[in-house]
Structure 1
Amino acid sequence: MLKGFKSFVMRGDIVTVAVGLIIALALSTLIKAFTDSVINPIIASLQGGRSMGLGWQLGRPGNQATYLDLGAFISAVIYFVIFMAVVFFFIVVPYKHLQARRGMVVFAEPGPLKTCPACLCEDLPAPARRCRYCGSDQELA
């Protein structure tokens, strides 16, 4: 049982995912610090005055619990976009290139699809002979 677990953990896919996750967590911390230290003050300065940030106070003035903070939301969107760009350009693109050199295709566009005339599902691969949902025979194109 331990031998099987060891072979499962040491597979290339698991190691690749683990390394990618560690890198993503480290980049997440770095990007979060960037958005908190740089982007948030810029967004808060757009409100002007002595406001708590970009947003509206819904309750008593100065009550943080009733402050609708749009600046934090905008900062989170910017954080997400930067994080996804970093993951794509520093993890996905090099991994795709490395796998292409090995002769493997990863993250490829799906092939052509067709619609099943019986159940009307639209995600059947074009060369499919039988519908995966209703089991009806399909005409070959």
Structure 2
Amino acid sequence: MLKGFKEFIMRGNVVDLAVAVVIGAAFGKIVTALVENLITPLVGAIFGAADVSKLWLAKWNGSEFHFGVILQEILNFLFVAAAVYFLIVYPLNKLAERRKRGQEPEPADDPMTTDQQLLTEIRDALRQRS
């Protein structure tokens, strides 16, 4: 029983998952700090109040409807998504495009049709004549 547990724990995908969770938590803190300390104040400086969590609707039977909290969380999500996309995903995609430019495209694995085989043979025969 312990041997099976040891094999399960030492499997590559379990260790990779553990590392991904730890790195993801640390990365989440970086993104949160970036959003809270740079993007949110910047939006607040440009558009006015960056914190809308204090907005609420009228009382009804003693209940207050704090829609501002939901709106603030939606804005926080959009700020985090924008930070991740524009500061990480977009630059990495551009870097990958630059790396691909220098490489030759991989040949297609599609089998050639009869016409293509015939044209290839004709081309090769003409090359041998020259």
Give TM-score, length-normalised by structure 1: 0.45
Bigger relative contact order (CA 8 A; separation at least 6):
2
Give TM-score, length-normalised by structure 2: 0.48
Give the structure with the higher percent helix.
2
Larger Rg: 2
